[in-house]
Copies of this chain bind each other. A is one copy, B any other.
């Protein structure tokens, strides 16, 4: 039976190390600050905002939240975003997406200042991710996947990795980050003829589809490391991942649970990116 690899130890380690690092900045009068821009009151946004705020507080990062009504115009939204861009107290900006339909994300992604864009909204940061440029900010969730693999000593270099799901939010960036770590990466998606075969071939299997318990025992090779990014509601109302955890943990060597897996690391990556942006903006090395 495989080891269940939880997110909390990873998040705790990052949190501790950031808190320690910030102590070293005490001589500075400035404090890293995250600016959140939220339109409306979607429950999942509010939940993430709560988690991110708590995480940042623990570390010593200030959080400022600007909320806008659901019918806000694109002009006003851009004004508020630009105000964050130019506010020297704000080091990192998080924009909750999707934005309401009257606001064109294709326009907004060019407005956010790339050096404050801590969750990879700007094409500049997408480009840096492809190039493996360490000065950029890859998106938080796929970065959490990499942090978990590193924390639990899973070697990516040279390993056969399969990513199921090719979304811009998780699948594609996870594939690119694994490639940057020199994994041999295959990406499967809705048009893949035999996803099971592709999954079976993996030493590291990352699943980000959004379909509860889709990955069964016979999809996973013996001893594979399984990272489950999905969060779905089960028939009984409880949360479950894209992987059938009870079945697959018998075969995997390591497996993340849902909840308490990848999701619990994401906000510490966000905090890490705020501190990285802060250091860059204040020329701290």
Which residues of A are in contact with B by a Cβ distance under 8 Å?
A: 106, 110, 122-131, 133, 157-158, 160, 166, 168, 172, 176, 179, 182-193, 198
Are B122 and A160 touching (Cβ within 8 A)? no
Q: Which residues of B contact A185 (CB under 8 A)?
A: 186-187
Are A127 and B123 touching (Cβ within 8 A)? yes
Interface of A is mostly: mixed
Q: Which residues of B contact A191 (CB under 8 A)?
A: 157-158, 182-184
Taking the closest CB of chain B, its distance from the CB of A210, in whole angstroms, is: 18
Q: How far apart sit A198 and B183, CA to CA, in the bound complex (Å)? A: 13
Q: Which residues of B contact A172 (CB under 8 A)?
A: 130, 176, 179
**Which of B122, B186, B190 touches A127 (beta carbons < 8 Å)?**
B122
Q: How far apart sit A179 and B188, CA to CA, in the bound complex (Å)? A: 9
**Which of B131, B133, B158, B179 touches A187 (beta carbons < 8 Å)?**
B179
Q: How far apart sit A179 and B193, CA to CA, in the bound complex (Å)? A: 14
Given contacts A179-B172, A184-B188, A186-B186, contact A158 B193 (CB under 8 A): yes
Taking the closest CB of chain B, its distance from the CB of A204, in whole angstroms, is: 13
Q: Which residues of B contact A166 (CB under 8 A)?
A: 179
Are A158 and B123 touching (Cβ within 8 A)? no
Are B184 and A189 touching (Cβ within 8 A)? yes
Given contacts A182-B189, A189-B182, contact A176 B127 (CB under 8 A): no
Please give me the residue from chain B that is nearest to A156 by CB atom: B191
* 18 additional A-B residue pairs with CB within 8 Å, beyond A157-B191, A184-B192: A106-B133, A110-B124, A123-B123, A123-B128, A124-B124, A125-B127, A127-B130, A130-B130, A158-B192, A166-B179, A179-B187, A182-B189, A182-B191, A184-B193, A184-B198, A185-B186, A185-B187, A186-B186
Taking the closest CB of chain B, its distance from the CB of A86, in whole angstroms, is: 19
Q: How far apart sit A187 and B168, CA to CA, in the bound complex (Å)? A: 18
Q: How far apart sit A22 and B238, CA to CA, in the bound complex (Å)? A: 60
14 contacts between A and B (CB under 8 A): A106-B133, A123-B127, A124-B124, A124-B127, A126-B127, A129-B130, A130-B168, A130-B172, A131-B168, A179-B187, A179-B189, A184-B186, A185-B186, A185-B187
Taking the closest CB of chain B, its distance from the CB of A156, in whole angstroms, is: 9
